[in-house]
Structure 1
C-alpha cells in the first residue's frame, strides 16, 4: 500500500490534515476507539449479580454469558471489518460499527429478558469490533514511522488505564443507579465517539489504496496464513492464553463475592491485577528490542505455568487467602502481558505480505476460541478458586506444547529464517 507519509521526512506533517485534528485531539480520539472494548467488558463486572437477579438467572455461573456473548460477537466480526474498510473506506465502516454499538447498548439497557440481553451483547460486540480493527488502520493512513509509533504509544497508555478504572466506574454508577445505568454510560460513550467521527473525522484511506473484494484473493491470503506453521501454532497458543484471561474475567466477581466473601474489595484488587498486566506491556516495549520476542515470551510462558502451579497448590492446600490470590494472579497477568503482544507479533511476522487477512484471522481465532475456553473455565466455578487455577495450569501447559510444535521442539531461539530480521 502506498503511503505519502513515507516519502520524505516532512511527509508525516503533510499527512496530518487527513484526519483534520490537532495531534493531541487525534491521540485522544484513537484512545477512545481503543477503549470501547474494555469499557463494554470491565465496567459491568460489578453488576453481573444484579443483572442475573433482574433477568431471572438463578445459576450464578450462567450470568457469565453476559461477558461471553459480547466476546463472541467482538471476535467473530473482526474477520470482515478489515476487508470492508479496505474496499469502502474507514469512515463508513467505523460509523456503522459505532451506530450498531450504540443501538445495541440501548437494547441491553432496556432488555426485558436474558435472551434479549444476549442478542444485544452479541451485536454490541460486533459493533465494537470495528473500533478494534480500524483504530490502527486510521493511524497508519495518517502517519508512518516514528510518528505512527508515537501516536500508538500515547493512545496505548490510555488504553491500558481503562481496564484498571472501568470496574470502579461501574461500581460508582451502582451507588447511584441500577445496573442499567452502566449500559447508559456505554450509550453515552458510543454517542460521543460517533459524534466525534461524524463531525471531525474525514475519510483517511487514500483513494488509490482502495482494494476490490476478491474471493480468490481472500482464499489465497487465508491459505497463506493457514499454511504457515509458526503463524498457526502461535495463534493457537495465543488462544490458550486468552482462554485464561477470559476465564478470570468471567469468574472474577464470583470469586470475590463467594470464595472470599469480600465483594467490596473486588474493584480495588481487580485494578491491582490489571495494573500489573499494563506494567508488563510497558516493560515489554522496553526490553523486547534487546532480548527478542521469543526469549521474552517463552520465559513469560514458563513463568505463567510456574505461578499457575503454585496457585493450584495454594488452592488445594487451603492456603489461598484473598491477598495470596491477588499476588499470584497479579504475577500471572504480568506474565500474560509479556506473552500476548509477542505471541501475536511472532504469528504475524512470517505473513506480513497478507497482514490484513492474517490479523483478522488471528484476531478471530484467538478471541472466539479464547472466549469459549474462558466460558468453559468459568462454568466450573464451584465457590472456590481451584477450578480456575487448575484451568490456568492446563491451558498454560497446552500453550507450551503448541509453542514447542511451532518451534520444532526448541525454545528461546532467534526464530525462523524469515523472521530473524525482526526478532
Structure 2
C-alpha cells in the first residue's frame, strides 16, 4: 500500500478542502454534529436514571444495563463500520447509520419493558458508532496529518456544547415526561442531523486506496498494533474514557442517592464538567501550535490525576457540597478535553490509507476501556467506589502517556 497524505489530495470536493487553519468549515461543523450525538445519547438522561430505575423496579446495576447496552452496541459496530466506510464511502455509512439510530430512538421512548429498552439502546449504540468513525475519518481524509490534532481539538470544542446542554435539556424534558421525555430529545437531534447530512455531507473517501478497503478488521489490527503510536493512542483513549464512563454510568446514584443532591444540583455538576471538556479542547487547539501531541497528553495526565483524587478526598472527608465536588472534578474534564483529540491524532496519523479502520479500532479501544472500568465501578456498588475507579483509570492513563515519546509518522 502506498502512503497517501491529506495534503496531496487534489480530488476533494470544494466543501471538503482544508483551509490554512485546518479542516473546512463544512467538515468541522458536520464532524462536530456527528460527534455531539454520542455524549447527548448518554448525558441526556443522567438525572433521569433514578426515575427509570423506579419505573422498572431495578437498582443501579439494572439501570446501567441501558447504558452498557448502548456502549456494547457502539463498540461492536466498530468491528465492521470502519471497513464499510473505507469500501463504500463516508457519506452512505453516515446516512444509513443516522437513519437506523432514529428508528431505534423511537422504539426506546415507546418501550413498555426494560428488556426492550435495553435492546433499543443496543441498536442505538451500534448505529451511533457511524458518527465518531466517520467524523474522525473526515478529518484524516481532508487535513494534513501534522494539523490533525488541532483540527480534532477544534471539532471537540464545537461538539463540547452537546454535553453542556444535555443534562439540562434532559432534566427539563424529564420534568414533563420522565425518562421517556429525556430520551425523546434524541429523536429530535437525530432528525435534524439526518437532514443536515443528507443536504451537506460530501464524500471524502479517496478514489484509490490500493486495496486497503479489502483488508480484514483482524489483519488491520495486526498491522496497526505494530506501530507504537497506535498503541499509545488506544491506551490513552481507553483509560481516559474509563474514568469518564465510570462517572457517567454510576454517579447519579452517588449524587442524587447517597449525597442527596437535587436533580438541578446534579445537572450543574455534569454541566460544569462538560464546560471543562470544552475548555480543554480550546486549550488543546492553542497548545498544538507549538507542542507535540504526546507532550499535551502529559499535561492532560496531571490534570486528570488532580481531577479524580480531589473529589475522592472531599467525599471521604465529608465535604461533599455540590459546588465543592463541581470544582474538584473540573480538572479531570479539562484533562480529558486536552487528551481525546491528541490521543486520536497520534493513533490515526500513520494510517491515511486505512483511516476508516484506524478510526474504528481507536473507537473500540475507547469503548472497551470505558465499559471495563464502569463494570468494576458498578460491581463495587457505585457511590465512593466510582471515584476510586476513576483514580485508577487516571493513573493508568498517566502510565500510558509516559511511555517513550512517539516519533511523528505520516
Preserved contact between residue 69 and residue 118 of structure 2 (Cα < 8 Å): yes
| Alignment partner, residue 76 of structure 1 | 76
- Is residue 2:41 matched to residue 1:54? no
Cross-structure match for 2:63? 63
Match of 2:243 in 1: 244
1:334/1:213 Cα in 2 relative to 1: closer, same or farther (>3 Å)?
Answer: closer
Of structures 1 and 2, the larger Rg is shown by: 1
| Cα shift at 1:343 | 2.8
Moved over 6 A (4+): 1-5, 23-26, 142-154
1: CA distance, partners of 2:104 / 2:218: 32
Change (3 A) 1:293 1:372: same
Aligned equivalent of 2:221: 222
C-alpha separation in 2, matches of 1:104 and 1:229: 38
Asked whether the 8 Å contact 2:151–2:285 carries over to 1, the reply is: no
8 Å CA contact retained: 1:246, 1:371: yes
Q: Give 1:146 deviation, angstroms.
A: 11
Q: How does 1:12-411 map to 2 (within 5 A)?
A: 15-16=14-15, 28-57=29-58, 59-138=59-138, 155-199=155-199, 201=201, 203-205=203-205, 207-208=207-208, 213-215=213-215, 218-263=217-262, 264-351=264-351, 354-381=354-381, 384=383, 386-404=384-402, 406-407=403-404
SS, match of residue 291 in structure 1: coil
What is the rounded CA distance, in whole Å, between the counterparts of 1:26 and 1:281 in structure 2?
A: 17
Distance (Å, rounded) in 2 between the aligned partners of 1:148 and 1:68: 30
Question: C-alpha offsets along residues 107-163 of structure 1, whole Å, 9 cap, x if unaligned?
Answer: 111112111111111110111111221234446667779999998676544311110
1:238-285 superposed Cα distances (whole Å, 9 cap, x missing partner)? 312111000111123222212321223111221112111210111011
* Distance in 2 (alpha carbons) for counterparts of 1:256 and 1:178: 19
Q: Structure 2 regions of 5+ residues with no counterpart?
A: 18-23
Q: For the residues of structure 1 that align with 2:29 and 2:302, how far apart are their CA atoms?
A: 36
Greater relative contact order structure (CA < 8 Å, 6+ sep): 2
Matched positions, count: 401
8 Å CA contact retained: 2:376, 2:389: no
CA contact (8 A) 2:91 2:203 kept: yes
CA distance in 2 between partners of 1:37 and 1:112 (Å): 24
Q: Which moved more, 1:36-45 or 1:128-137?
A: 128-137
The 3-state SS of whatever aligns with 2:129 is helix
Displacement of 1:364: 0.6
TM-score (norm 1): 0.82
Tell me how far apart the structure 2 counterparts of residues 252 and 280 of structure 1 sit (CA, whole Å): 22
